[in-house]
Structure 1
Amino acid sequence: MKFKTYSIAAMACLALSSCSDDFLKDMKNYESTTPEAYNYYSGALGRLADVYALALPYGNSSSVPIWQVPSNGRADDESKSTEEYSGFGCYVNGEITLSSTSQTNSVPDYFQGQARKVRNSTWGRIRNVNDVIAGISGSTLTEEQKNELLGQAYFLRAWCYYLMFKWYGGVPIITEVQNPVPGKSTARSTTRETFDFICEDLDHAAELLAPFTANGGWTSTDYGRATTAAALALKGRMMVLYASPLFNRANDKSRWEAAYKFFQEAIPEINKCGNHLAYEGNPGENASNWAKMFIEDGINPEAIYVALYNQIATGGTPDYSKNNDWEQGIRPSNTLGSGGKVPSAAIIDLFPMKDGKRPSSYNSYTVLSPSAIEYNPDLPFLDRDPRFYRTFAFPGVCWAFNGNPMNDENHNAYNGPDYQLWNYVWYSDASDRGNIESGNTYGPDGLMGNVKGMYVRKRTDDLHVNTSARYAYTQGTGFKYSAAPYMEIRYTEVLLNYAEAACQSGHSDVAVDQLKRIRGRVGYTAENNYGLQTGLEGNEAACMAAILYERQIEFAYEGKRFDDLRRWMLFDGGTQTVPGAPSTWKLTGWGGNTCQYLGFEPLNGTRRENMEFRVQDKYNGGLGGDKWVIGGKNPDPLADVSRPAAVDYRNELEPQLKNLADFYTTYLERAVKKGDNYNSAHAQLYMNYQPQYYFPGFAYGVSVNNEGLEQTIGWMDASTNATGTFDPLAETVTEK
């Protein structure tokens, strides 16, 4: 790898002599040190902690570079290219074509970052971890100390390479600290070589860490560090990715069989690290324990690779202040949240019914039997999968929190423990009411112009679920200082990856067993076959559809859906061709069309709209504006209407939802609101994921800073204006 300018901080003559017992607080910048520091356990641990700070999957904020962290549920370009959000992420915007030769509409850069800054660069991060590996290996530490630290370092290097591999396939493999030499760069290794390298690092990490973590995992002091379980779980994710249609166009079954065998051997080892399906057999009231596991305090058996946060305030504090801003982002504005995240109507309508089956109106995964329960889109909260209620918030639900946002400006009627969300909307002008693109909507209880038609609720720190909030709520900051963890890899993913490998290698019975365990955790029982249709064991396509559907529901707003759509080529079924691509790029497995195989409607050519529940026209007439009181009058047109009690998930749902449905039927109506874009003539635009996006090319800055680095087929090289020649599907290096 070559950088034209590579600025490294001057090495200070410092040997670190102590470190904090608090793993999170220890992740400071220890980059400026000397090689002698590695001869001290505390010094080596400090250098490793610095790599953690750069490599852990933090990043709820949009300001975090995309190369540094994976998508994790926020409305980024990846999630806005799925059913979860509307608004056209860059990959599906039909009005633009991503470019590798221009900084306008540039293809995203997951490869480099800022080439001139070590700490702001993908390869600077890898340089640091290579320095840690070399420094510890050559140190005077004991073998036990070396193994403990090196196991974590090898995992972190594998993680950094995985984040590039999933996009580009083969990338340069660099295992030593290199000094930048003008005019020289390291060539891309083949995809197979890169895959093998990552797996070897993970094998090494798993072996080295076993004596420290395979007896129940780290103690609470070191919780959050890499474990044998994390290494094995990431390797399993890699193997399933490599066996998927994206990398396996002919459906080479040996890849699936290798993954299946791996999981059979790996899962018992993962269990030894203290990881298992959290709350298995104990769903709680209306899947409350499923909701609780996302904000669990202390060691969580569900969490395999987890990013920890704290409540320490920013500004004038040490550099270990790390706050999770997810809670702040999803909470409505009248709670002093940032205003909320808006789910698309598409994902609301596709969630299963309470019998576990897809709604009959959902026209994807049609190889799966539809529900016998009629879905009423005007009352979408009726008769749904238990996870629906823990994933979305809609008018008329309790969403309690530990705090009090009441103030004279809002005239908010609730303090936190009593908070009820009423986010129906009205219009002060008839022309706005009839305009699907108008944003001039208003909501009650102080929401006013900050109202959202629906809210994402997933991963919330709900006071009715968790009585000890992980956030430090104040009138000035709301939920800003939250310590809720983020699980990048959790045990459920291991089981679903295992199920996928089992299904595709001829062991659908094993796959179905994993689905039953996962559904049992949220309240389904053997009485109705855990909501699964019978006969999945003998129908590979239906079994695979059930797995992908389960992933979509279970992992909603966790940043996993785009990866699933991409690796299964569900934007077009894998039917489009990339100019210049060899015949090996043609999808021949799965009948040559993964969408047809799964009964899935391709996302290309579809739109995602938003939805709201508006006051029926005969009651509409409320006032607009940004304040709760306008001229001394309550602007809510339903101000004098008695609302039903908001739905409290601690109690039986059915009678509460029926009362709420009566209120909706009498006073509200579902309406479509603009989701995906319109063109300048106000005509609808549709999702359009182009075939070359399955393997993104290197962005403009990558090519001009790394002359000679081979560009991917389907993309132009900005430094030469030549077409790309690197084949991510080639197993061997092509002789030139």
Structure 2
Amino acid sequence: VGPFGGMDIGGGFGYWPYDDIRAVNYVIENMPKYAGNFTESRVTELLGEAYFCRAFFYFSLAKRYGGVPIVSTVQNYPQQSIEELQVPRNKEEEVWTFIGEDLDKAYEMMSATSPRGRANKYVALALKSRAMLYAGSIAKYGSVNFVDGEAKSAGLVGIPADKASSFFQKAWDAAKLFEGTSYKLYNKYPSDKVKNYTDLFLDPTSEENILVRDYSITTRTAHSWDATFSPGFMTVGPESRAYPTLEFVERWGKLPVLDANDRPIKFNNLADLMNNSNLEPRLLATVYFPGATLRGKTFDTQRGLYENMFTGTVTQEVTKPLEARTSITSSDPNT
């Protein structure tokens, strides 16, 4: 996503990484030919990483589309006919099973540690547990969806409900093997839960980091999310594109902004709401409230202003048409 709204749909529903899958298949098929150039353990490790990558690509496909064509060998044109190259979609259950099998191979072949940004056997276990949980959830709850017709009846979308327990068991078994490893829940700041939850995602030394993707201008893997999702006065050009909804914020509980009589509470200081001890720490670590600071600047977020305090309740006020309310909304140029 660029700062002016450009979007790379390859990361969304345009995702179709069969060129990458072909490259991985080529490594799996041809690595043994060059085994003499490496130690036996290194060959095994590289093949395990290839199986992990293939599973990762198919995981990303399956969670978007359900059943997709499973291509596990290198395709060549014009050596192969068009008919041979036109691989039909597999059933969704078959794709998730294939993902699990590749991750089993990765777990058996890869080492226990790896450089930052690359997978190892425990990363493969973590992905397997997650993928099998996806599959089990689709089987258990997939009867409630908006897909019908041939795609569903042929098994291209959806998994039979009686397969749920099998996939859940595979997820559990993979998670149990993960116990006792060097990966641990992040708890560097037990007395400051807001900072602890924030740094869980920001601390590069976190023991909870399983697979990290680094970004760098040098390697042409940089992104502009910071520019796009920061408030306008903190960046160049665009305004913020990420406004948390009230529904999202109140997933952590109702905000303490109304008194017992359903009337707005008046705060004397900008940060009074943020400093309320009853707010969930994960909420404060996720959403910037008025009075919070970022890069030395203070947030001052307002929906509108009330010139004269209304005499009714908030519930009565918000049911009125906008033009009948006593507030000046944010669309007013005077706010």
TM-score, normalization by structure 1:
0.34
User: 1:128 Cα deviation (Å)?
Assistant: 1.2
The CA deviation at 1:226 is 1.0
User: Do residues 269 (structure 1) and 186 (structure 2) align?
Assistant: no
Alpha-carbon spacing, 1:254–1:229, altered in 2? closer, same or farther (3 Å): farther
Residue 289 of structure 1: which of 188, 191, 196 is its match? 196
Distance 1:179 1:387, change over 3 A: same
Alpha-carbon distance in structure 1 between the residues aligned to 2:100 and 2:124: 9
1:32-431 maps to which residues of 2 (within 5 A)? Answer: 65-67=8-10, 69=11, 108-110=13-15, 112=16, 122-140=17-35, 141-181=38-78, 183-184=82-83, 185-209=86-110, 212-213=111-112, 217-218=113-114, 222-245=115-138, 249=142, 255-279=163-187, 282-298=189-205, 300-310=206-216, 312=217, 320-336=219-235, 338-340=238-240, 341-352=242-253, 382=276, 383-399=278-294, 401=295, 416=296, 419-424=297-302
Say how many residue pairs are matched.
Answer: 281
Alpha-carbon separation, structure 2, partners of 1:180 and 1:334:
54
**Counterpart pick for 1:615 among 305, 310, 314:** 305
C-alpha distance in structure 2 between counterparts of 1:271 and 1:323, whole Å: 34
Give the CA deviation at 1:618. Answer: 4.9
Q: Which structure 1 residue ranges, 5 or more long, are not aligned?
A: 1-58, 71-107, 113-121, 313-317, 362-372, 402-415, 425-611, 620-667, 674-736
Is the alpha carbon distance of 1:200 and 1:307 closer, same or farther for their aligned partners in structure 2, counting shifts above 3 Å? Answer: same
Q: Secondary structure at 2:211's aligned position in 1?
A: strand
Contact 1:206 1:228 in 2 (8 A): yes
Higher relative contact order (CA 8 A, sep 6+): 1
Alpha-carbon distance in structure 2 between the residues aligned to 1:309 and 1:269: 30
Cα RMSD for the two superposed structures = 3.6
Percent identity of equivalent pairs:
26
Cα shift at 1:132? 1.9
- For residues 545-592 of structure 1, the C-alpha deviation after alignment (integer angstroms, 9 at most, x for no partner) is xxxxxxxxxxxxxxxxxxxxxxxxxxxxxxxxxxxxxxxxxxxxxxxx
Amino acid at match of 2:228: G
In the alignment, the residues of structure 1 paired with residue 95 and residue 77 of structure 2 have an alpha-carbon distance, to the nearest angstrom, of 22
Distance 1:276 1:164 in 2: 29
1: CA distance between counterparts of 2:120 and 2:82? 39
Tell me, yes or no, if the aligned pair for 1:396 and 1:420 is still in contact at 8 Å: yes
Mean Cα deviation higher: 284-293 or 257-266? 257-266
Call closer, same or farther: CA 1:161–1:396 in 2, change over 3 Å.
same
Deviation, 1:255, is: 4.1
Aligned equivalents of 1:136, 1:618: Cα separation in 2: 76
Q: TM-score, normalised by structure 2?
A: 0.70
* Aligned-residue offset at 1:232: 1.5
SS at match of 2:184: coil
Structure 2: how far apart are the matches of 1:132 and 1:670?
Answer: 64
Instruction: Report how far residue 124 of structure 1 moved.
Output: 1.0
Higher fraction of helix: 2
Q: Give a deviation string over 1:82-121, Cα, whole Å, max 9, x none.
A: xxxxxxxxxxxxxxxxxxxxxxxxxx444x4xxxxxxxxx
2:120 maps to a residue whose letter is: T
- Contact 2:67-2:93 within 8 A present in 1 as well: yes
Asked whether the 8 Å contact 2:132–2:171 carries over to 1, the reply is no
Could you list the per-position Cα deviations for residues 496-537 of structure 1 after superposition, in whole angstroms to 9, with x for gaps in the alignment? xxxxxxxxxxxxxxxxxxxxxxxxxxxxxxxxxxxxxxxxxx
CA distance in 1: counterparts of 2:221 and 2:178, whole angstroms: 28
Gaps of at least 5 residues in structure 2 are: 144-158, 266-272, 310-325
Please list the CA deviations of residues 467-521 of structure 1 after superposition, one character each: whole Å capped at 9, or x if unmatched: xxxxxxxxxxxxxxxxxxxxxxxxxxxxxxxxxxxxxxxxxxxxxxxxxxxxxxx
